Structure 1
């Protein structure tokens, strides 16, 4: 499926780096860009406690002063957040007017517990969500965006780490395959990318232990499927030698000069933050590669 509508998520304290990456990818394939800016929730102030004029007055007065000081601090912080939000919104509009005119920008006020729901509501009506370097570096918001856009929607996510040359027209793609449903969905969601690539390598790690495929040879079934969709496919059988599968796939992608890794996203709700951390640890000390994930 071609990507016609792409979501980019950013925060009031982020730069416009992630949006610039998404805008460039949208221009590459002619897609509409939807930008979601996550803003801190509006400040809700409760009235100060009333004094009844009794002997408790000194203590109540001290409490009232402390409460007022706290509110002034909250107002100052909220004013700073609002100014930061206004600034990034202006920068994003300016950037998109100059680079890509098919876009919309939305701001949502939400606390940390509501980030996933806010992202999910918008990801459901987009073909792909781009998770860029700023979100990857935000350990508080990043995992929540991954949860909302990937795990809670069934829609794919393209993770673009710092320094990666992201493209939606990759020449060489590595597919991590293990015959699970998640791997099948990642291939289906990336089918348009795979069919247009010059080379697609299907990588099976410890295939005898992890795959029961229906083909005569390991990987023959998925290779046949992709070939019938126009992809140019080869199959690589890899041994883990006790190393994590993710590490083996990442290194093989580098060794084969892949422009992108496509794989399924695994894990229960309890393990999702581990996935997010694992994604960022993959590329430490290695050339960064975009990672296409589907659940």
Structure 2
């Protein structure tokens, strides 16, 4: 799909790279930027023992809200020089409801960008942003690691494929991006079964993409005992991919959190820009 509105979520300690990434993407696509500046705070005290500290908490909250508003005003001024359509909003969030609140904003955007600053001091905000976009708004996220310059008009794309609903959603969201790019449909340890991958794993999705005038190569790779995320990242580097497109959370969030998984690894430590959908 085309991306006409891009939501970039940043914390109070956002880096210049976050702003540069968001504005570059909007300039590239002629898209409108929604910049959401977030202050994430712990849940307010509610028990009886907290009454003595509640006034302190309220005062601290008010100070943070004022700092947040000042930061948003500063960013509004700095964005004027980019010559794009934009709006800047500030949001004080209770961490208990952050997924839902960010999801409310994401519903009115086509893409949610997670910049490198959220992989550092604001990692908690990173997870709330990803979960809010994927689960509360069903919107794709673009996760950008540090020192990477993303493009939504990439030359080479790795499409991670395993014939699941989530992978199909990722491919669908990436159709416009894949048009004109060199696409590598990548399967790790695929099973040739009639019910899932078919007798020739990857052939069905390659035919689907061909009907959208997207020429793709099918790469079937053995894991050789390595994590699937490691195989995907290394293959992306080997083919000089600019972007990885994939589905997210084929397993439940709880299972991913306890046992780990491809989605969690690609979100936590991406090697390249990752477009993820669910």
> TM-score with structure 1 length normalisation?
0.81
Q: 1:191 & 1:249 partners in 2: Cα distance?
A: 20
What do the CA deviations read for 1:149-206 (whole angstroms, capped 9, x no partner)?
Answer: 1122221111001111201100000011111010000000000001131x10011111
1:146 is displaced (CA, Å) by 0.9
Gaps of 5+ in 1: 47-65
1:84 is displaced (CA, Å) by 3.4
1:78 is displaced (CA, Å) by 4.3
Does 2:21 align with 1:21? yes
Q: Of 253, 256, 260, which aligns to 1:269? A: 253
Q: Give 1:5-44 correspondences, 5 Å limit.
A: 5-39=5-39
Q: 2:95 & 2:52 partners in 1: Cα distance?
A: 24
Q: Give 1:210-289 correspondences, 5 Å limit.
A: 212-214=196-198, 217-266=200-249, 267-271=251-255, 273=257, 274=260, 277-280=264-267, 282-283=269-270, 288-289=271-272
1:281 is displaced (CA, Å) by 5.1
Q: Of 160, 164, 184, which aligns to 1:201? A: 184
Conservation of the 8 A alpha-carbon contact between 1:246 and 1:282: no
Q: What's the secondary structure of 1:18's corresponding residue?
A: helix
1:16 is displaced (CA, Å) by 4.7
CA 1:203/1:71 → structure 2, altered by over 3 Å: closer, same or farther?
Answer: same
Q: Of 96, 99, 119, which aligns to 1:136? A: 119
Q: 2:197 & 2:133 partners in 1: Cα distance?
A: 30
Q: 1:209 & 1:81 partners in 2: Cα distance?
A: 56
1:213 is displaced (CA, Å) by 2.3
Q: What's the secondary structure of 1:258's corresponding residue?
A: coil
CA 1:73/1:127 → structure 2, altered by over 3 Å: closer, same or farther?
Answer: closer
Larger radius of gyration: 1
Q: 2:192 & 2:227 partners in 1: Cα distance?
A: 14
Conservation of the 8 A alpha-carbon contact between 1:108 and 1:118: no
Aligned to 1:85: 68
Conservation of the 8 A alpha-carbon contact between 1:120 and 1:152: yes
Mean alpha-carbon deviation: is it higher for 86-95 or for 134-143? 86-95
1:91 is displaced (CA, Å) by 3.1
What do the CA deviations read for 1:18-43 (whole angstroms, capped 9, x no partner)?
Answer: 233111101100011111122357xx
CA 1:263/1:111 → structure 2, altered by over 3 Å: closer, same or farther?
Answer: same
CA 1:125/1:164 → structure 2, altered by over 3 Å: closer, same or farther?
Answer: same
Q: What's the secondary structure of 1:218's corresponding residue?
A: coil
CA 1:117/1:23 → structure 2, altered by over 3 Å: closer, same or farther?
Answer: same
Q: Of 126, 149, 156, which aligns to 2:133? A: 149
Aligned to 2:104: 121
